[in-house]
Amino acid sequence: MTDIKQVQEEIIDEFTILEGDRESTIFYIMELGNKLSEYPEEARLDENLIKGCQSKVWLTTEEKEGKVIFKADSNTDITKGLISLLIRVLSDRNPKEIVDADLYFIEKIGMGNILGSQRSNGLVAMIKQMKLYALAYQSKLNV
């Protein structure tokens, strides 16, 4: 399995092809969201919503063999694409890797130029929630 840094580098390479074109980048992000695995309808509960996101973003986790598995969905295509990128980087990792992850790919692919302040705040909220879940698993597993 590739590590977090390698996955981020793959994502940066994919976005480099788009040459910073805003429209192409947004379209690609939305396309990535469509590839998320099906999110269970019964998990679309208020308690699974990420606070601080303008859009609705549901996030659930489970622990399998010491790894944190994330599942998510959103009611908007762009936000769904953003959470899919985070899942690609952070899911199926041990909690310490997630907590310690430096997610530099977000800046490298130019998200700051593409997202408005509301979506940027939402992206920060998504990262924070994912790291909080990992921290909870880390203390539970005593890793």
Q: What's the rounded mean pLDDT across residues 45-54?
A: 92
118 pLDDT band (50/70/90 cuts)? low
Residue keyed to tokens 């593409």:
114
Give pTM, 2 decimals: 0.93
Catalytic residue among 29, 53, 59, 109: 53
Number of domains in the chain: 1
pLDDT by residue (tens digit) across 100-116? 999 999 989 988 777 77
Is residue 31 over pLDDT 70? yes
Query: DSSP for 14-50?
Result: HHHTTTT-HHHHHHHHHHHHHTSPPPPGGG--GGGBP
Whole-number average pLDDT of the chain:
92
Domain of 39 in residue numbering reads as 4-141
CA–CA distance, 54 with 111 (Å, rounded to integer)? 17
pLDDT at 74: 96
pLDDT at 140: 86
125: its two tokens: 């909220």
Q: What's the rounded mean pLDDT across residues 119-132?
A: 91
Closest CA to 83 of 106, 107, 113: 106
44 pLDDT band (50/70/90 cuts)? very high
Per mean pLDDT, which range of 83-87, 92-96, 132-136, 137-141 is the poorest? 137-141
Based on the residue annotation, tell me whether 53 is a catalytic residue of this protein.
yes
CATH number at residue 130: 3.90.1010.10
